[in-house]
Structure 1
């Protein structure tokens, strides 16, 4: 989103050209049952002009209504399938609204070649449990604000990871330690950090042993990673 309108096909294509290994984006459901790629529950923040603002929740709008909105440089909100068509790298597909689960499962069942590069993620354990039921062969990842995030997960994050059948844990920086990351790796989980906004974040992620992290500026992220790796080699 730092280089092109967020969650649009040009932004994903540009990220791939820059050299990212994976793309992360958010999915919601329209009123007529289309899985769309959009972070917010409304178009108010991302619409390029006033005509796309004040329309209300996208869950109450048809895809035709949503597609008519310019979300920057003449781009429209893409469907999940359009993003699959336009990309080749691995995908973190974050479920923002649980009602999209059935449509996601429908799409991936018809596209087995794409299914291999997808991981469904969410802050919502119930969304991951639903995807485990609907698309059990697609990997899943839990996202949290930090660790242990007791207000959201009073029973413990490890219990949520187990019950959702997750294979990855994407954690905010709060509460992270090398011991925690090592323990999660020993239990078989991939670990990802977010947000990554500086070379210092990359250095910390490497020190902790993370498998990856999410950035808004992929060009800067690749530069930070190269710098941190070069520093570590000396």
Structure 2
């Protein structure tokens, strides 16, 4: 397999438990714990601006309600995305992918962008995110890893910017996933840690892909995955695991 440019430990949604997920504040908290690679969720505003948000709606993690993709970025960018977490983060706003790119590039951090389209916008989101990432990371030593549960989004990203690395996200071993990952030219499979066993990992790696696991927050599965040859771990527990090297240090 080609050399893998990404750190072993990846902070999920920034540091999405200690700070409001998918905000620059969460990225800063993760960086403060020594993390140098981050995962985030990206979707499109009504006017096509890629920004960070996990859910299709604003309800859970902001002060507003309704479908996020129905609002323009000028409106989304002013929404409080921190007060739901704690008073200390009141006023923290939804970040654009462009702002996150600037943060990562200025600090030399790696990024796993999960393409998280609003239902029905899979292809458009994959295309726009890939084009934006290629533009903002142009010439960077490490390009962002684009991942998604949605093959249509990855296919659109592949068509728009074939040189960007891609990964298929899986929460179960559905029929045809392996052939799908190969057809999409994926460099990795990112699976829920509960479905992984050594045979599945060996099959993926034998095909020239890396294996990453999400969301690993407890030492026991982390130790087992490390011993089994996993290539990367995505975690919320940035205050529990030391991100130096491939070992599990709590």
Q: TM-score range by the shorter chain?
A: 0.7 to 0.9
Q: Deviations over 1:144-195 (max 9, x none)?
A: 003x2x2xxx2x2210111111000011134322122122112111101111
Report how far residue 37 of structure 1 moved: 0.8
Contact kept in structure 2, 1:122 and 1:143, CA below 8 Å: yes
> Hey, what's the Cα distance between the residues in 2 that align with 1:207 and 1:110?
38
The runs of 5 or more residues in structure 1 that have no matched partner are: none
Q: What is the DSSP-based 3-state SS (H/G/I as helix, E as strand, rest coil) of the residue aligned with 2:35?
A: coil
TM-score normalised over the length of structure 1: 0.86
Show the counterpart of 1:66: 76
> Larger C-alpha radius of gyration, 1 or 2?
1
Show the counterpart of 1:187: 207
More deviation, 75-84/106-115: 106-115
More deviation, 14-23/203-212: 14-23
Which of the pair is proportionally richer in helix? 1
Show the counterpart of 2:126: 101
Q: Deviations over 1:8-55 (max 9, x none)?
A: 1121122123222421000000001110011111111011xxxx332x
Q: 2:135 aligns with which of 100, 110, 132?
A: 110
> Hey, what's the Cα distance between the residues in 1 that align with 2:210 and 2:41?
20
Q: 1:83 aligns with which of 84, 100, 124?
A: 100
Show the counterpart of 1:32: 47
Contact kept in structure 2, 1:115 and 1:138, CA below 8 Å: no
Q: How many residues align?
A: 219
- Cα RMSD of the aligned pairs, angstroms, is 2.1
TM-score normalised over the length of structure 2: 0.81
Q: 1:169 aligns with which of 168, 171, 189?
A: 189
Higher relative contact order (Cα pairs below 8 Å, separated by 6+ residues): 2
Report how far residue 224 of structure 1 moved: 11
The runs of 5 or more residues in structure 2 that have no matched partner are: 1-15, 83-88
Q: What is the DSSP-based 3-state SS (H/G/I as helix, E as strand, rest coil) of the residue aligned with 2:191?
A: strand
